[in-house]
Amino acid sequence: MIFNLGFGQKTQDTLFIKKQRLKGAHQSIFFEQNKTSKYYVGLTDFSFGDDYKDTYNYSLTFLKSNRIKLIHKKTILPSKKWITLKQYNNKYYAYYPCDFYTYYKCSVNDSTYIDWSGEGPIANKIIEQKKLDNKTYLLKLTGQHEKYKILIIHIIDSEKGIAIFEERRKKNVVNYYLMIMAEKINEVPLIVNNCLTEKQIELTFQQPNFKILINKK
């Protein structure tokens, strides 16, 4: 039996984008109204579990075994923790996915820039950090997955802590990520993809026009 309420339908004061049950599987995608809910807390959790510790330590071992010495220096970035944002119906949302394997967030300390993905946290050495202007920062990185990578952080909304991360890799590969400072996650609404029984399809989002947003900053 399938229940698809569609966008804009309410059940017990919860606004659902999708709600269905099919052959024992259950999925609901909804707008989280509670700013102190476990979903908001979960997105901002950067703690290391046992599996994460192994992944992080392996990336540090890689740097050490390749004689890449870490340089300890205070970060110049306006925040140490960043979370991915999504665009839905032309608005920005934090997103709590069904499956965190493809979810991306990042953090920085006094010596490493840490990519958080499905594999866990990967430490990259910060070769150089530079403040280009009041809204633009540049990091040069090296690590386990990329020998050389440039990251340019464009602050597009200082009040809400929203930025575009422009990631430049070898062979002219450029990736863009819409990010928000973790401590300001309550500045944006949250969409939750709650799949209780098994993995389900993620919600489809709009692709922001990153170049236009960068030029407007």
pLDDT tens sequence across 25-41: 677 899 999 999 999 99
Work out the average pLDDT over 108-129. 94
Q: Is the pLDDT of residue 153 over 80?
A: yes
| Residue whose structure tokens are 């709590």 | 96
**CA dist., res. 172 & res. 168, Å (int):** 7
Asked whether the predicted pLDDT for residue 12 surpasses 80, the reply is: no
Average pLDDT of the segment spanning 108-126: 94
For residues 187-203, average pLDDT: 87
pLDDT band, very low/low/confident/very high, at 23 (cuts 50, 70, 90) = low
143 close to 125: Cβ distance less than 8 angstroms: yes
> Which of 207, 189, 165 has the alpha carbon at shortest distance from 79?
165
Answer whether residue 45 shows pLDDT above 80. Answer: yes
Three-state secondary structure call for residue 76? coil
**30: CB partners within 8 A, 6+ apart:** 14, 15, 16, 17, 19, 191, 192, 194
The band of 17, judged by pLDDT with boundaries at 50, 70 and 90, is confident
In angstroms, the Cα distances linking 129 to 30, 95, 121 are 39, 29, 20
Residue spans of alpha helices (H) in 2-74: 38-43, 50-65
Mean pLDDT to the nearest integer, 4-24: 55
Q: Are strands 91-96 and 81-88 parallel, antiparallel or unpaired?
A: antiparallel
**How confident is residue 20, by pLDDT bands cut at 50, 70 and 90?**
low
21 forms bridges with which residues in the sheet? 26
Q: Is the pTM of this model over 0.75?
A: yes
Quick check: 69 and 62 in contact, CB under 8 A?
no
pLDDT of 19 higher than 80? no
**What is the average pLDDT across 137-147?**
96
Q: What is the domain partition of the chain in residue ranges?
A: 9-216
Query: Which of the two residues, 201 and 122, has the higher pLDDT score?
Result: 122
As a whole number, the mean pLDDT across the chain is 89
pLDDT higher than threshold 50 for residue 118: yes
Query: What pLDDT is stored for residue 1 in this prediction?
Result: 27
In whole angstroms, what separates CA 27 from the centre of its chain? 22
Percentage of the chain with pLDDT > 70?
90
Q: Can you tell me the mean pLDDT for 91-114?
A: 94
Quick count: other Cβ atoms within 10 Å of Cβ 107? 20
